[in-house]
Structure 1
Amino acid sequence: MMTTELTQGAVESRDGTRIGYWKTGRGPAVVLVHGSMESGRSHTLLAEALADDFTVYLPDRRGRGLSGPHRADHSARTEVEDLDAVLAEADATMAFGVSAGGAVVMEAARTSPALHKVAVYEPALVADGAAHRVWLARFDEEIARGDLPGAMVTSMFGLQMAPAFLKVFPRRMLVRMTEKMLLKEERGAAADTVTMRQLAPTIHQEGVIIAELAGSFDKMRAVDADVLLMGGSKGLPILRPGRDTLEKVLPHCRRLEFDGLDHGSSSDPGGVNPRGSAQAVGRIAAEVKAFFEQS
């Protein structure tokens, strides 16, 4: 639980959509960009660890919580424009991003001169986006007919986030397990919680962004910002080759791999991160804080 106060604010993105955020701390501004199946408050522990030295902004990416809806033509450019609006409001030159949010931060660093320092944890940059376009079609069909648990299972395998042991389970069983997980979270959720059931439809846009930015590594040579590139030894195997390539192409990059941490380790425990811990967040926060404090 946070011991520092969170306040709300909002800005308008370039297309007029409201982008809401939570804010805490004091000092130079840092914007934290969450990943898939998360909202701005998914990084409250990380924000608290930074709040004594930085003013931390926690935006809800479009389609979640305090922010407005996605539009039909949603793209990586839309995400960057949303982030640009928050950076301008905060007068921020530093940002952190994880997973799909990390991919957005990297694209913003490539296109937005405002960013001088970026820290990313397991950014969702891959070599080939074709596989994501395939699972997205089935995901959309399942969402359209109201089979949200089924769509979540489809996306879990499509994004290659499923642990190996789950591949032996019948799909019908996985769908039932997912529905039970959603109901359990809803029974214990506070009134203002952005639940997994509410977040699930946003996975479509995550797939779109990952597919669009796939294979963009050479373009990242243009990133002028200092980059702290992080991952975990137990993170998603599909994302490690991307970090290997980014380390080679980024002009100003420090690589850091955390032994024993997984893909969700920067986020608060709970939701899609049941194995998370405050200790894991603390390990990442210490490195992020030291990186942002460097002149």
Structure 2
Amino acid sequence: MEKKTLSRDGTHIAYTRTGQGPALLLVSGAMSTGATLASLAAPLSERFDVTVYDRRGRGESGETEPYAVEREVEDLAALIDAVGGEASLYGISSGGALVLRAAASGLPVRRAAVYEVPYAMDDADAKARAEYTARLTEALGQGRRSDAVELFLRLTGLGEDVIRSARQSPMWAGMESIAPSLAYDDAVMGDGRLPQSLLASITAPVLSLAGGASAGWMREAARAVAEAVPQGTYRSLEGQSHMVEPGVLAPVLAEYFAA
């Protein structure tokens, strides 16, 4: 990360800014840092002033306790100030939920786009998320970072064989290092259900995206976001999953944010 800005509570937020044009901030999801979005930022920087950042508690950004979702919205406010006072926002997964909260908070958001915010679409999904929250809180409270990572990977639908393989990989140590931030993503998701009143209060246009190869409930949730936002639009990207390919996503975002 090349630069740092100071959030309202005194936390330093690290970010990288590339390209020229209208300001665009990219927001990562769980178990990731700003570097995760570098491959998306690169093509977008040909038309936009693109900022990627480490969300608080991960990467090169600082952390100030106690955590609150409002502090993450303030982080985005500080970044928007740093890039000129107005920006468009893109967020993936729980990062998309943060983008929607920021847009609803009254920040100067020109346009917003989100990819597969994993809102629960039925009681069974909501119950599973509540159980995840309880078990995650217990694991992190006891310092069991590895168990917390496993809980998250199971929530995403990975099988036990894949998880066992991941534990043996070089990336596992890095995942453990930012495991406490899983609680932050969980908090950003609220109770896991679609926040109808929050979405209805968003005045900026919102593009809600999903992959055509993703689970049905993911596409349903993305469509529900678009329907709940007054200026919402839904679009499915053929052949894509939750691990969306930057080369497919970038042109879609570029067309939308340039409008």
Q: TM-score, normalised by structure 1?
A: 0.78
Aligned residue pairs: how many? 255
Output one character per residue of 1:101-149: Cα deviation in whole Å (capped at 9) or x when no partner.
1001111111124001111111233457554342233223334555433
Q: Is the 8 A contact 2:211 2:236 kept in 1?
A: yes
Structure 1 segments (4+ residues) deviating >6 Å? none
SS in 1 for 2:240: strand
Pair 1:251 & 2:230 matched: yes
RMSD: 2.3
Output one character per residue of 1:174-229: Cα deviation in whole Å (capped at 9) or x when no partner.
66433202xx2379xxxxxxx32322221122112212563412321121111111
Q: Is the 8 A contact 1:32 1:57 kept in 2?
A: yes
Q: Is the 8 A contact 2:69 2:184 kept in 1?
A: no
Corresponding residue for 2:148? 151
Pairing 1:34-73 to 2, within 5 Å after superposition: 34-72=28-66
Corresponding residue for 2:166? 178
- Separation of aligned partners in 1, 2:199 and 2:182: 25
Q: Is the 8 A contact 1:29 1:54 kept in 2?
A: yes
Corresponding residue for 1:205? 184
Consecutive unaligned residues of structure 2, counting only runs of 5 or more, are none
Output one character per residue of 1:153-182: Cα deviation in whole Å (capped at 9) or x when no partner.
22223x3x114xx2xx4xxx666433202x
Alpha carbons of 1:76 and 1:142: their partners in 2 closer, same or farther (altered >3 Å)?
closer
Q: Is the 8 A contact 1:132 1:210 kept in 2?
A: no
- Separation of aligned partners in 2, 1:186 and 1:132: 23
Q: Is the 8 A contact 1:232 1:259 kept in 2?
A: yes
Which one of the candidate residues 242, 246, 252 is aligned to 1:281? Answer: 246
Alpha carbons of 1:259 and 1:89: their partners in 2 closer, same or farther (altered >3 Å)?
same
Tell me by how many angstroms 1:243 deviates.
Answer: 1.8
Corresponding residue for 1:264? 243
Pairing 1:94-109 to 2, within 5 Å after superposition: 94-109=88-103
- Separation of aligned partners in 2, 1:285 and 1:174: 29
Alpha carbons of 1:254 and 1:8: their partners in 2 closer, same or farther (altered >3 Å)?
same
Which one of the candidate residues 29, 36, 39 is aligned to 2:23? Answer: 29
- Separation of aligned partners in 1, 2:162 and 2:40: 31
Amino acid at match of 1:28: P
Q: TM-score, normalised by structure 2?
A: 0.88
SS in 2 for 1:119: strand
Consecutive unaligned residues of structure 1, counting only runs of 5 or more, are 1-6, 188-194, 266-279
Alpha carbons of 1:29 and 1:238: their partners in 2 closer, same or farther (altered >3 Å)?
same
- Separation of aligned partners in 2, 1:45 and 1:66: 19
Tell me by how many angstroms 1:291 deviates.
Answer: 0.8
Percentage of identical aligned residues: 28
Which one of the candidate residues 67, 71, 78 is aligned to 1:85? Answer: 78
